[in-house]
Homo-oligomer: A and B are copies of this chain.
């Protein structure tokens, strides 16, 4: 179970550390940063609320809260969908775009320092392959796992 212990420790520490840095650096949480990044990478810089929640493995209500906060801060804007009245798009504003661009270098550098530089290229590839498979398995059998 050495792998498991290392995994949860690394996970907790990395999250804590990155959250800290982003908060000092850009005044946003790691989750808010991820929201900005996803929106920035999406076509038209906008995404459906549900799609965004799924991409971040976050609850719908949690996302509603965060988007509301970020809208107050001017980083994001809500837009309703013309073809489906129920749907809501979250759009990246220019201020949001500017903030990601300002925060990204430091964030990427810290990830590199804490994770990438600690490992060999081979270790990184193994880690990416292995955890990628873990993620695909979990997404494929969420109900099976809950049942058994």
> Which chain A residues have a beta carbon within 8 Å of chain B's beta carbons?
1-4, 6-7, 9-17, 20-21, 56-57, 110-111, 113-116, 118-119, 122-135, 137-139, 142, 145-146
Contacts and interface: CB of A to CB of B under 8 A. Distances in A.
A145 B17 contact: yes
Contact of A115 (B7, B17, B56): B7
A114 B145 contact: yes
A115 B3 contact: yes
B145 A110 contact: yes
Nearest to A125: B3
Given A123-B130, A130-B127, A145-B17, A135 B3 contact: no
The copy count of this chain in the complex is 2
B57 A127 contact: no
Given A2-B132, A17-B142, A118-B134, 10 more contacts: A3-B116, A3-B131, A4-B115, A4-B116, A6-B130, A7-B14, A7-B115, A10-B134, A20-B146, A118-B133
B57 A6 contact: no
A114 B131 contact: no
Nearest to A129: B123
B12 A145 contact: no
A16 B57 contact: yes
Given A13-B57, A20-B146, A145-B17, A6 B114 contact: no
